[in-house]
Amino acid sequence: MADLDVIADPDDIAEAEARPAPDLSVVVTLYDEESTVEELYRRLVEALGERSYEVVFVDDGSRDRTWELVEQLHAADQRIRAVRFKRNFGQHPAMHAGLARAHGEIVVTMDGDLQNQPEDIPRLVAALDDGTDVASGRRAARHDSWGRTLPSRLINGMLRRFTGVAIADFGCAFNAYRRSAVTPMLGAIGKQKFTKALILSGGASVVEVDVGHAPRAGSSRYSPLRLTRLALHVLAGFWPQPIQWIGIALGAVCSLLATVLLAYGVWFWIAREDFPGPLLGGVAVLFVLGIQGFILALVGEYLGRIQREVEGRPLYSIAEEL
């Protein structure tokens, strides 16, 4: 593939192609998960039982012993495949690397921090038995703080509106896909930050499945700044013609605000014979500047996307592959 900075050994490729394709691939993204990866593997083996499967670990530039432990698991179990990035590129590029290497007709994606519980995989896979393309995990009881869940609800609402797909939890990485739903969108996966929303926007059928959600060890990796950038990414990636709509909204709001402030100034002038020009002018200027700042951030998101497309930079660079 053109977007990968890696040269594979031809003998390894021939050997991999000679193996029969498994029925199920489990793609697990990892970042500093040395405390969970061994338990995750044990629980995966127990949950999948005698099913024909493979596990594709993608180490997104971990700084701890995650890759060393993955190497040990690979040496003991040839159903494990693994990729290590040269640095941290993000969850969705890591998801792309795993999906591009998955051989199963059904692919399950999940995080490696054990908030997603391997015991739920059989239920996700069973939900596809009727021919549905995507079994979307829904975290029925989330173990996150309100500072994490409230922005998540806002982003989910935006995605429902912009994609036209009425599911509750776009942010859940724990999903099952038919290969036929993933393959047409593979070229775009990783460039967008919501793999599931991207696949569903292509017309894939979906059913929601309630899955468990364990408490996370340590603090969330999604800071307020990162959540704000995520919201801008949703606007730029899934909302058709947002600049036009925001321009209309900006004009309407500013006109309304100017009318209200003018009416207040006239009333204040008549009642107290003193027009509060500096105060009203300052409020109006600050309000307009705030909205302009938001629009500038959105335009910056678009320009960044254009720059990345023109430069043709790879989604990720691979340091090692098992």
Q: Looking at residue 39, what is its pLDDT?
A: 95
Instruction: Please state the pTM of the whole predicted model.
Output: 0.68
Q: Determine the length of the chain.
A: 322
Number of C-alpha atoms within 13 angstroms, CB side, residue 268? 12
Cβ-Cβ contacts under 8 Å for 34 (sequence gap 6 or more)? 62, 64, 65, 66, 69
Q: Looking at residue 152, what is its pLDDT?
A: 66
Distance CA 174, CA 65 (A): 24
Q: Looking at residue 196, what is its pLDDT?
A: 79
Q: Are strands 53-59 and 24-30 parallel, antiparallel or unpaired?
A: parallel
Distance CA 104, CA 79 (A): 12
| Regions of the chain with pLDDT less than 50 | 1-10, 12-14, 16, 217-219
Coil/strand/helix, residue 58: strand
Q: Looking at residue 164, what is its pLDDT?
A: 65
- Report yes or no: 232 and 301 within 8 Å, Cβ to Cβ: yes
Distance CA 125, CA 128 (A): 6
Helices 277-311/242-272 angle, 10° precision: 170
Q: Looking at residue 222, what is its pLDDT?
A: 55
Following CA atoms 188, 191, 197, 201 in sequence, which dihedral angle do they give, to the nearest 10 degrees? -30
Q: Looking at residue 139, what is its pLDDT?
A: 80
Q: Looking at residue 65, what is its pLDDT?
A: 93
